[in-house]
Chain A
Amino acid sequence: MIWLTWRQFRAQAWTAFAVLAVAAVALAVTGPNLARMFDASGIAGCAARGDCESLTTAFLDQVGHNAPDNVLDHLSSWVLFAVPSLVGMFWGAPLVTRELETGSFRMVWNQSVTRTRWLAVKLALIGLASMATAGLLSLAFFWWSSPVERLSMQRMTPEWFGATGIVPVGYAAFAFAVGVTAGVLFRRTLPAMAVTLAVTVGAQAFMALWLRARLIAPLRVAAPLTDAVLNNFGLRPATGQFTVFTQGGAAIPGAWIISAPQTVTTPEHVASQACLTQLRQNLATPQACIASLARLHLKEVVTYEPLSRFWALQWYETAIFLGLALVLAAFCFWRGTRRG
């Protein structure tokens, strides 16, 4: 049965292997260069000199302008988000439907192997292959992006969280199980593929946009709107008022800021009103106005998940998707091996 599974899966396995090889080569070729750039940037010793901020900005700018790195950086995360859906659509969905559509199930289910075992071997082997593919890609990307990651600390953001660490493995297992389940339910490949894509992307989005922030209760902090924060985010005179647009959490490095960007509208009666008038008349500088705002001791409430929770959240999320995959697999056994 293992032989047959491998024989039928061989072509897809080589495709996956080719994708992995291309990714590995691309990352291996550019990776050392990225590390060299990091070494050359002098960031390593910046703490002693106190010029970390400018060096970091310069380095990230350099990466952003270096075409292959920038493209790879974004492409890799997209690939890692897409791999689960692809695995579900092209490995999961046809697993049962192809046998049903060609009628070959009537041949293979009449060999001396029970349907339960047939399905078990297929689910186990191809499921593991799905997880391995996603896992290896994630690992390669993790290694490649580590110099950038150390500085930009983006991996908690929804754009990156799902493309790093171990969650891609959970997504892949889940998507594969969704594919097989959809195949068992719809019995035709095309609708099964469409449903797999929709469910997988939907689950990824649901997790990133809603559930993840609820896995571990986020931290709250009332960050003072100091000079520095206000400087970072600027000040826009709007209709007769000062409206401060903040993104918050600038003081919490690497955290995933969950609270929506706030607009803090200063009350009309405060001193800032006078500053606005002066600003209009070019009697005051924006800096002076910021300083006057800072004197109001406004606070911004920020909810966030700190960087230190990265692995805890990764494990939670992976466990949830692996659990769902197991539930779906159990359903496939119940439904798929039921006769007639």
Chain B
Amino acid sequence: MTAVVTTEGLGKRYRKGWALADCTLSIPAGHVVGLVGPNGAGKTTLLNLATGLLAPTAGTIEVLGGRPAAGPRQLAKVGYLAQDAPVYAGLSVADHLKLGARLNPGWDADLARDRVARLDLDPGQKAGALSGGQRAQLALTLAVAKRPELLILDEPVAALDPLARREFLSDLMETVAEQQVSVVLSSHLISDLERVCDYLIVLIASRVRIAGPVDELLSTHHLLTGSRRDPDRLPAGQEVISASHTDVQSTLLVRTADRILDPAWTVSEVSLEDLVLAYLSQDKSKRDPHRRQPHLRQHRHLEVQK
């Protein structure tokens, strides 16, 4: 599996502190990779490092085998749709296409023109007068028509209404299918990612908490419901991600490669959203000071090691 982005102990420190620290990950090629995490997990910082907008304070990052933004060739290989889809408000849609054509040797003018026509963007309209959805589409057109090998999108739909969000994502999927381009897409909305991503990376406090193909993640996580019991007494190889208990009942989210054989459990499938939320809340409870007894920390640490 070749990687489009590999980082090694990557860190970025601002005056206020580390926005990303000791991040080691590998993003495989040929996927639509969803990068999820709570606000402040370092998603945007990671993507800005990958596009070379930021330089790392520590560690290394390699994108498509090169240093981010090292030169025109490297820049041409990566398309970036930044958060809030920045465009030039005073320039028209047609101006933006011209800008793309002038600034990118690999510019695909037909693709750009077709996209603009298909999306009903008026070429004469100033970009500042476009709706949020149209602006995102225009910015995506700029990022796609330069024919990159890797397309990076930072919270592309966060500012869009549900309808525009759906349109944007389905258009993105179409484009990705046509172009054979690797995509990294960050979002804190898992439901959006569920529709488009086939690979997921959960980033919590700069660390990769879990990463893998979506179908594999779904097939190895199970929701177990049954009469109340201690989650520590599960068979080896079953990692409890989250547990909730009522007086009589326990609900566990368990990660295991094996099948669940215990007939006492009712096994149901997990949605991607439940899965991600379980990891996020696990991290939260981990940081909860009341739960920070030494044995418990050690216990969790072992879990992570497995």
Chain A residues with CB under 8 Å of chain B are 1, 3-4, 7-8, 102-115, 117, 338-340
A102–B86 touching, CB < 8 Å: yes
Kindly list chain A residues whose C-beta atoms are within 8 Å of the C-beta of B82.
103, 106-107, 110
A106–B80 touching, CB < 8 Å: yes
Kindly list chain A residues whose C-beta atoms are within 8 Å of the C-beta of B69.
109-110, 114-115, 339
Whether B143 sits at the interface, judged by CB under 8 Å, is yes
Q: How far is the CB of B2 from chain A (nearest CB, A)?
A: 22
B104–A102 touching, CB < 8 Å: no
Kindly list chain B residues whose C-beta atoms are within 8 Å of the C-beta of A108.
99, 103
Can you give 30 A-B contacts (C-beta < 8 A)? Answer: A1-B103, A7-B91, A7-B98, A7-B99, A102-B86, A102-B88, A103-B82, A104-B87, A104-B88, A106-B80, A108-B99, A109-B53, A109-B69, A110-B51, A110-B75, A110-B80, A111-B75, A112-B72, A112-B73, A112-B106, A112-B146, A113-B75, A113-B103, A114-B72, A114-B75, A115-B69, A339-B54, A339-B55, A340-B12, A340-B53
B84–A103 touching, CB < 8 Å: yes
Whether B139 sits at the interface, judged by CB under 8 Å, is yes
Chain B residues with CB under 8 Å of chain A are 12, 48, 51-55, 57, 69, 71-73, 75-76, 78-80, 82-84, 86-91, 95, 98-100, 102-106, 139, 142-143, 146
A3–B71 touching, CB < 8 Å: no
Query: Residue of A at shortest CB range from B78?
Result: A110
Kindly list chain A residues whose C-beta atoms are within 8 Å of the C-beta of B75.
110-114
Query: Residue of A at shortest CB range from B45?
Result: A340
A340–B106 touching, CB < 8 Å: no
Q: How far is the CB of A106 from chain B (nearest CB, A)?
A: 4
- Per the bound structure, the CA–CA distance linking A21 and B88 in Å amounts to 29
Known: A8-B91, A104-B88. 9 other contacts (CB 8 A): A3-B99, A8-B88, A108-B99, A110-B79, A110-B82, A111-B100, A112-B75, A112-B146, A340-B54
Query: Residue of B at shortest CB range from A104?
Result: B86
Kindly list chain B residues whose C-beta atoms are within 8 Å of the C-beta of A103.
82, 84, 86
- Per the bound structure, the CA–CA distance linking A108 and B104 in Å amounts to 11
- Per the bound structure, the CA–CA distance linking A301 and B157 in Å amounts to 78
Q: How far is the CB of A62 from chain B (nearest CB, A)?
A: 49
- Per the bound structure, the CA–CA distance linking A311 and B82 in Å amounts to 53
Q: How far is the CB of A1 from chain B (nearest CB, A)?
A: 6
Kindly list chain B residues whose C-beta atoms are within 8 Å of the C-beta of A105.
53, 86
Query: Assuming A102-B86, A339-B54, A339-B55, is B76 touching A112 (CB within 8 A)?
Result: yes
Query: Residue of B at shortest CB range from A340?
Result: B54
Query: Residue of A at shortest CB range from B19?
Result: A340
Question: Which of B84, B90, B143 gathers the greatest number of chain A CB atoms within 10 Å?
Answer: B90
- Per the bound structure, the CA–CA distance linking A340 and B53 in Å amounts to 7
A340–B55 touching, CB < 8 Å: yes
Q: Name A111's contact: one of B86, B87, B103 (CB within 8 Å).
A: B103
- Per the bound structure, the CA–CA distance linking A338 and B57 in Å amounts to 13
Query: Residue of B at shortest CB range from A107?
Result: B86
- Per the bound structure, the CA–CA distance linking A340 and B72 in Å amounts to 19
Query: Residue of A at shortest CB range from B73?
Result: A112
Kindly list chain A residues whose C-beta atoms are within 8 Å of the C-beta of B91.
7-8
- Per the bound structure, the CA–CA distance linking A106 and B108 in Å amounts to 21
Kindly list chain B residues whose C-beta atoms are within 8 Å of the C-beta of A115.
69
Query: Assuming A1-B102, A103-B86, A340-B54, is B80 touching A114 (CB within 8 A)?
Result: no
Q: Name A338's contact: one of B51, B55, B139 (CB within 8 Å).
A: B55
Closest 9 CB pairs of A and B: A106-B82, A111-B103, A340-B54, A339-B55, A103-B86, A112-B76, A110-B80, A112-B104, A112-B75
